[in-house]
Amino acid sequence: MADNVLKVEHVTMQFGGVVAVNDLSMEVNKGEIVALIGPNGAGKTTAFNVITGVYAPTNGRVSFNGVPMIENHPQGKMKKNYLGEDPEGYPAKIVKTPDQITKLGIARTFQNIRLFKSLTVFDNVLIARHMRSKANVFSATFKVNAMEEKENREKTMELLKLVGLESSANEISSSLPYGKQRRLEIARALATQPTLLLLDEPAAGMNPQETDELSEFILQIKNQFDLTVLVIEHHMDLVMQISDRIYVLDFGKLIAQGTPEVIQNDPHVISAYLGVQDDE
């Protein structure tokens, strides 16, 4: 399939006895906005961290545009699980490290904002352009790459304008209000020139109006930069508004997938979110 950008196959992630993600398979197609939802502790962020190479999963494969990022190690032997049994399959092996994954074109934001706190807003975004720079350490030191540097600075300013932060370019990033920090993180992710954008709870802590603005903003950047978006979110309004398809996780397991309409009426999802009624 040419148009499936991200492919996650049978990913399992165990932390000791805890199975955070259990046999998760999902695909994201080009140009889609896909949401990954689930109650707290369902394993959404863990899945994100596996996709971006932060965690090596216990088992499974992940590939991006056909390039393997996590492979099952064909010769390796699985660690015994907490019951002392030999699990089936082979341990997963990280083929691409997080920085290589970013280079391939996956950018992400973090659930608990991870800005470069004591640097300015401008530098935060400018740093993200370092990876695409062709300069080596000598040419950068002696300013041989002045043209490139100038272009990077212009691009950075453009991105800051896009997220409405151009007036605070020289402020220290940690002094920004929460909502703006979220926007800055998105701008920084966009500066790496991604084709797939992963957003980890972008609307966390936002009021309904801000959430509305954010969903419009996500649609806008998706069109402008020709992105594919995978988003983890709790705000159902936002999810239902923007996503083409939804995957629902509960206790690490995929319990439902489909269009927003399908998910809204899925009995498993309803019971996972609202609990099962007693008189059923």
Partner 1 sequence: MVKKKIKLRDVILSILAAGVFCALLAYYQYDTGTSHSYAISILERSAIYAVVAVSMNLLNGFTGLFSLGQAGFMAIGAYTTGILTIPVNMRQSVYYMNGIAPWLENLHLPMIPALLLGGLFAAAAAALVGIPVLRLKSDYLAIATLGFAEIIRALLAAPMMNTITNGSFGLNNIPGFQNIFQPMAIAAVCIVLMILLINSSYGRAFKAIREDDIAAEAMGINLFRHKELAFVISSFFTGVGGGMLAIFMRSIDTKTFQVTLTYNILLIVVLGGIGSVTGSIIGSLLINGSQEWLRFLDEPTTVPVLSSLFKPGFRMVIYSILLMVVVLFWRRGIMGTNEFTWDGLFGLFRRKKKTKKAGGEA
Name the residues that contact partner 1, by CB under 8 A.
52, 54, 97-100, 102-103, 107-108, 110, 114-120, 122-123, 126-133, 135, 137, 140-143, 145, 149, 152-153, 157, 169-170, 188, 192
Burial zone of 193 (CB within 10 Å; 0-12 exposed, 13-18 middle, 19+ buried)? middle
Long-range contacts of 163-172 (CB under 8 A, 24+ apart): 163/187, 163/217, 165/121, 168/121, 169/120, 169/121, 169/122, 170/120, 170/121, 170/122, 171/120, 171/121, 172/117, 172/118, 172/119, 172/120, 172/121
Q: Which residue lies nearer to partner 1 by CB, 43 or 53?
A: 53
By beta-carbon proximity to partner 1, the closer residue of 10 and 132 is 132
Please say which residue, 47 or 239, places its beta carbon nearer to partner 1. Answer: 47
- 262 — phi, psi (to 5°)? -60, -45
**Backbone phi and psi for residue 241, each to the nearest 5 degrees, phi listed first:** -70, -45
Measure Cα distances from 64 to 16, 31, 50, 112 in Å. 28, 14, 13, 25
CB of 118 to partner 1, least distance (A): 6
Answer yes or no: are the C-beta atoms of 34 and 231 closer than 8 Å. yes
Tell the smallest beta-carbon distance from residue 27 to partner 1 (Å): 22
Minimum distance of partner 1 from residue 131's CB (angstroms): 3
Identity of the residue, 13 or 246, whose beta carbon is nearer to partner 1 in the bound complex: 13
Which run of H or E residues covers position 275?
none
Q: CB-wise, 102 or 228, nearer to partner 1?
A: 102
Closest separation between CB of residue 98 and partner 1, Å?
4
Rounded CA-CA distance 201/36 in Å is 10
Closest approach of partner 1 to the CB of residue 218, in Å = 19
Name the minimum Å distance from CB 255 to partner 1.
29
Smallest Cα–Cα separation from 128: which of 141, 142, 116, 140? Answer: 116
Q: How far apart are CA 95 and CA 220, in angstroms?
A: 33
Minimal distance, residue 133 CB to partner 1, in Å: 5
Nearer to partner 1, 118 or 259 (CB): 118
SS3 (DSSP) at 269: helix
CB atoms under 10 Å from CB of 87, counted, come to 15
Between 81 and 145, name the residue whose CB sits nearer to partner 1. 145
